[in-house]
Amino acid sequence: MEDFGNGKMERVLGIYTKLLNGQTVNKAKEAERYQVNDRSIQRDIDDIRNFLELDTENTGYINTITYDRGSKGYRMEQIYKMKLSNSEVLALCKILLESRAFVKEEMKDMLDRLISCCVPQSNQKLVRELISNEAFHYVEPHHKTRFLKTMWDIGEAIRSCRYIEIEYGRMKGGKVVARKLKPVAIMFSEYYFYLTAFIDDEEVRKDFDVINDSFPTIYRIDRIKKLKVLEERFHIPYSSRFEEGEFRKRIQFMYGGKLQKVKFKYFGENIEAVLDRLPTAQVLSEEDGAYVVSAEVFGKGIDMWLRSQGERVEVIE
């Protein structure tokens, strides 16, 4: 029985090709086909399995050979693509740096781990060089707060529908207030991570201008001084669940408030910038370079954006 040289090479390549094509490899049938014993075919399969493990580092794909009891044979499974491409990691590093969401030491650690875990060793130096200047001149947020553990605890509370109690430092006057909340989402906008939540205390709720079961309140996570996740659970029916994706489309600068519609004329050169800034925006008409735009938005943040546009915007309603 031939087990070395061209015979073995031809056999291994034949079995590997079958596996790549999604076919099932039966040891007995392959042994009969190549006129070898079952142990030789098993060694071939083990060699292919070892090759796939080594190839993972180069391709980023995790492939494995599994035994299918139903078909009584071996087949190849691609579990997942393990690594991001070099360009994807570079893009993520740039986005992280631009976010300016974390203190400098945390940002450095995240970038180092992202590059080390996701980029092949041979390309890590290049990626580091491409972000080195921006990383060196990185300006951390003024709050200088580490909040990742708090954010994770909030995420777990959201997932398990547990009430939380927080001590929160207000922007105005720095007063610390206590709140019992139903946390529903974590969002990011303009350098900060935010918690959106419904206030549970009726005495507190009555002091707000606009607050009901449709409009959550918004808290900057870095301003949460203390957090306690309670054992008490809340229930929100599926039909009434908070959809942060839809909420995010309609809110500017994370300023809460009621749902409203705005209509304005835009005289700028780049209407795409408006449509990207206001995902719910619709161009109603266009004449001589002036666009009439309508959008559905939450809160007072839209007023800030409209004012920032100066003469490029004329509010209609």
How far apart CA 22 and CA 24 sit, in angstroms, is 7
Q: What is the pLDDT of residues 37-95, one digit of tens each?
A: 999 999 998 888 888 877 666 665 667 788 888 888 998 876 555 567 788 889 999 99
| Overall pTM > 0.85 | no
How far apart CA 117 and CA 22 sit, in angstroms, is 30
What percentage of the chain carries pLDDT values higher than 70?
Answer: 83
* Cα-Cα end-to-end distance for the chain: 87
User: Stretch 149-169: mean pLDDT, rounded?
Assistant: 94
Rounded (10°) angle between helices 86-99 and 104-118: 170
Partners of 291 in the beta sheet?
266, 286
Partners of 65 in the beta sheet?
76
Q: What is the pLDDT of residues 112-145, one digit of tens each?
A: 999 887 777 778 889 999 999 999 999 999 999 9
Please answer whether residues 29 and 15 qualify as being in contact, where contact means their C-beta atoms are separated by less than 8 angstroms: no
pLDDT at residue number 211: 43
pLDDT at residue number 64: 79
3-state secondary structure of 145: coil
Please answer whether residues 294 and 281 qualify as being in contact, where contact means their C-beta atoms are separated by less than 8 angstroms: yes
* Three-state DSSP string of 93-123: HHHHHHHCCCCHHHHHHHHHHHHHHHCCHHH
Q: What is the pLDDT of residues 248-293, one digit of tens each?
A: 666 666 676 677 888 989 998 888 888 888 888 899 998 888 899 9
Q: What is the pLDDT of residues 217-246, one digit of tens each?
A: 889 999 999 999 999 998 876 655 667 666
pLDDT at residue number 248: 63
Per DSSP, 25 falls in state: B
